């Protein structure tokens, strides 16, 4: 007898509908799976056979042929265990319900028949909903992440025998739902606060500008000057995520199995990989392609501490995702794409010993060592970083003075939110969410300078030797500074501050 069951496979964040066709016929006992299955799916034969037996059902001693259609699509993952088992049980009429046209199954089977949690359940369910599926049978442990998808019934099951009873109308399992609005409202921020940081007012201001416009920032300074301390507080002043942004981040974290007990990632990610990481760890890929750190930092912060300590090849692969907002991984039979709209925050010392230009410590490096150290950061990468700022060690009176008022993250975030809302309103018809995403076409419309501003910009362009990309970066940062001050037009003081954030590439890399 022939049966057909629907399931899903992932390529990148996109899910593809797969039909599991099962034929159980007379002949020598055999069990074959065709249709471009990978190793995990070929191994499913033993898991499915044993799971069916240990669930109390008789495995058919016939010729079993499983076809995974369409046959030209590579199938990867253990989530096909469950639909294969259901297809066999349908074909031998242990499951008697044939009305499964709008039902899909995903799940891995253990040998005792338990349905195990899988990675990537959320993007699968979202894709299945878009393809008209009305009900999805999922592992019980995936119910939290999948419950955020509306207009589709999520049926969580723990065991294969439980599923058979449900499909034969001998057991009731209610669709699982959660209130998404409550999830967004109830998540509390537990970030470290800017109010704990004494001194470094210029760096705090630069961080505020970066947060308001989603600008990349490079911090240069000696050891112990607070670079890392302030960088780790950046998420506390970033605007809150929208539901659509939270859902996109959650899809990525679902694929790599990093979701916690919550069903939705509601806080902006902060990723701080070690400098020994590889190219694949940063941008994604591998034998079984997975998202890298740039995608795990999507709509959040990618913090690279001690930037020159990273391998130069690793830093160079950052250029494309920084510019395009996504990563493309090419394979022989497919190209996968993962989103990567992150804020890059990088910190570094000015030289190998860390004290070049420090008034209180003597630098022990020679010029050749300094040039080699700074040479790891190429001009094209530096061009893509909007804000460069140099910091000095904190003075004793700033540390000792307990009466010195420091702004809290809440106070700074209020201004950032206001500027962000201004950008959302301005770009509501442009499919742009922040000033950092402006294209040259948009900049002609939204970053126009007056005569005084044009003269100042020309002077800076000539004296600092700015590239065309750096010129655009200055205008974008100036637009953000104007938004923070509630100004509709970019004024000369806004432009002057933005130019100050580009001086270091001439000082250190000229």
Strand partners, 220: 348, 390
What number of other Cβ atoms are within 10 A of residue 92's Cβ? 18
Q: Kindly state whether residues 246 and 391 are assigned to the same domain.
A: yes
Q: Is the pLDDT of residue 498 over 90?
A: yes
Rg of the chain, C-alpha, whole Å: 28
Quick check: is 363 in a domain?
yes
Pair 205, 337 in one domain: yes
Same domain, 154 and 218: no
The pLDDT assigned to 47 comes to 97
CB 109 within 8 A of CB 135: no
pLDDT exceeds 80 at position 251: yes
| 336, pLDDT greater than 80 | yes
Q: What percent of the chain has pLDDT over 90?
A: 79
Q: Please state the domain count of the chain.
A: 2
Question: How far is CA 354 from its chain centroid?
Answer: 32
The residue among 98, 132, 167 that closes a domain is: 167
- CATH number of the domain at 138, please: 3.30.230.10
What is the mean pLDDT of the segment spanning 217-239? Answer: 95
Write out the E strands in 324-474.
Answer: 326-330, 335-339, 343-348, 387-390
The length of the chain is: 510
Q: What mean pLDDT is predicted for residues 33-45?
A: 91
pLDDT of residue 504: 80
- Residues 335-360: what's their mean pLDDT? 93
Structural domain boundaries, residue 313: 194-509
For residues 336-355, average pLDDT: 95
For 354-399, write each residue's pLDDT tens digit: 999 888 889 999 999 999 999 899 989 999 999 999 999 888 777 7
In this structure, of 52-56, 356-360, 435-439, the range with the lowest mean pLDDT score is 356-360
Residue 371 in any domain: the answer is yes
Question: In the prediction, which pLDDT does 359 show?
Answer: 84
**CATH of residue 495:** 3.40.50.300
pLDDT tens readout for residues 140-171? 999 999 999 999 999 999 999 999 999 999 99
Determine which helix (DSSP H) or strand (DSSP E) holds 282, and give its type and residue range. helix 279-283
Is the pLDDT assigned to residue 188 strictly greater than 70?
Answer: no
CB atoms within 10 A of CB 422: 19
Mark whether 80 and 123 lie in a shared domain. Answer: yes
Confidence bin at 187 (pLDDT 50/70/90): low
pLDDT > 90? residue 453? yes
Beta strands 270-271 and 284-285 are: unpaired
User: Given CA atoms 297, 300, 306, 312 in this order, what sign does their dihedral have?
Assistant: positive
- Give dist(CA 394, CA 154) in Å, integer: 55
Q: Are residues 122 and 238 in the same domain?
A: no
In a domain, 465, yes or no: yes
Q: Greater confidence, 1 or 278?
A: 278
Give the containing element (helix H, strand E) for 165: helix 160-167
Mean pLDDT of 330-349: 90
Strands 103-105 and 108-109, bridge-based pairing = unpaired
Of 409, 416, 388, give the one whose Cα is nearest residue 483.
Answer: 416
Work out the angle at residue 154's Cα, subtended by the Cα atoms of residues 149 and 157, and round it to the nearest 5 degrees. Answer: 140
- pLDDT, residue 186, reads 63
pLDDT of residue 396: 77
Q: How confident is the model at residue 277 (pLDDT cuts 50, 70, 90)?
A: very high
Predicted model pTM: 0.93
Contact residues for 100 (Cβ-Cβ < 8 A; gap 6+): 5, 6, 90, 167
Domain end residue (candidates: 167, 185, 220): 167
In this structure, the answer to whether residues 365 and 504 fall within a common structural domain is yes
273 and 404 belong to one structural domain = yes
Asked whether residue 370 falls in the same domain as residue 482, the answer is yes
Residue 137 and residue 254 in one domain: no
Q: pLDDT by residue (tens digit) across 80-120? A: 999 999 999 999 999 998 899 999 999 999 999 999 999 99
In a domain? residue 181: no
pLDDT confidence of residue 190: 78
Out of 152, 167, 182, pick the residue that ends a domain: 167
Do 159 and 220 lie in one domain? The reply is no
- In this structure, the strands spanning 115-116 and 108-109 are antiparallel
152 plus 200 within the same structural domain: no
The yes-or-no verdict on residue 227 having pLDDT over 70 is yes
Residues 143 and 202 in one domain: no
In this prediction, residue 173 has a pLDDT band, given cuts at 50, 70 and 90, of: very high
The per-residue pLDDT for 417 is 97
Instruction: Answer yes or no: is 248 within a domain.
Output: yes
Would 65 be classed as within a structural domain?
yes
pLDDT of 86: 98
Would residue 187 count as lying in a domain?
no
pLDDT > 70? residue 510? no
Q: Do 79 and 7 touch, CB atoms closer than 8 A? A: yes
Question: Does 282 map to a domain?
Answer: yes
């Amino acid at each position: 007898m022939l049966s057909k069951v629907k399931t899903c496979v992932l390529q990148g964040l996109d899910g593809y509908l797969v039909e599991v066709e099962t034929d159980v016929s007379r002949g020598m006992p055999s069990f074959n799976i065709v249709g471009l299955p990978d190793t995990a799916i070929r191994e499913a034969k033993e898991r499915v056979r044993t799971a069916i037996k240990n669930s109390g059902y008789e495995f058919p001693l016939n010729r079993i042929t499983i076809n995974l259609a369409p046959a030209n699509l590579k199938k990867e993952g253990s989530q096909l265990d469950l639909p294969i088992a259901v297809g066999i049980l349908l074909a031998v009429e242990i499951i008697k319900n044939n009305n499964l046209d709008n039902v899909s199954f995903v799940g891995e089977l253990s040998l005792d028949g338990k349905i195990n949690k899988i990675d990537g359940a959320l993007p699968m369910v979202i894709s299945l909903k878009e393809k008209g599926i009305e009900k999805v049978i999922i592992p019980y442990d995936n119910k939290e992440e999948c419950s955020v998808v509306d207009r589709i019934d999520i049926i969580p099951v723990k065991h294969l025998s439980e599923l058979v009873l449900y499909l034969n109308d001998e057991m009731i399992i209610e669709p699982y739902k959660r209130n998404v609005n409550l999830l967004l409202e109830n998540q509390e921020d537990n970030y470290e606060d800017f109010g704990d940081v004494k001194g470094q007012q210029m760096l705090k201001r630069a961080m505020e500008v970066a947060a308001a416009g989603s600008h990349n920032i490079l911090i240069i300074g000696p050891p112990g000057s607070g670079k890392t301390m302030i960088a780790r507080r950046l998420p506390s002043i970033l605007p809150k995520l929208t539901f659509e942004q939270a859902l996109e981040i959650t899809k990525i974290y679902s694929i790599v199995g990093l979701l916690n007990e919550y069903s939705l990632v509601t806080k902006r990610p902060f990723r701080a990989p070690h400098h020994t990481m590889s190219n694949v760890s940063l941008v994604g890929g591998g034998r079984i392609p997975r998202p890298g750190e740039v995608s795990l930092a999507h709509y959040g912060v990618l913090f690279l501490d001690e930037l020159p300590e990273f391998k130069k090849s690793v830093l160079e692969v950052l250029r494309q995702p920084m510019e395009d907002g996504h990563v493309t991984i090419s394979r022989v039979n497919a190209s996968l794409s993962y989103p990567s709209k992150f804020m890059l925050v990088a910190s570094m010392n000015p030289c190998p010993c860390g004290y070049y230009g420090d008034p209180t410590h003597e630098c022990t490096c020679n010029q050749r060592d300094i040039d080699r150290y700074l040479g790891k950061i190429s001009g094209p990468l530096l061009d893509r970083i909007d804000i460069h700022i140099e910091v000095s060690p904190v003075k004793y009176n700033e540390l000792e003075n307990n009466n010195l008022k420091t702004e809290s993250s809440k106070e700074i975030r209020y201004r950032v939110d206001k500027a962000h809302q201004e950008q959302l309103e301005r770009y509501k018809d442009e499919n742009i969410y922040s000033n950092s995403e402006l294209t040259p076409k948009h900049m002609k419309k939204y970053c126009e300078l007056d005569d005084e501003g044009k003269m100042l910009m020309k002077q800076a362009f000539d004296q600092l030797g700015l590239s065309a990309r750096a010129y655009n970066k200055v205008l974008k940062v100036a637009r953000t500074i104007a938004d923070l001050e509630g100004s509709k037009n970019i004024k000369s003081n806004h432009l002057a501050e933005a130019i100050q954030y580009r001086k270091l590439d001439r000082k250190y890399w000229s």
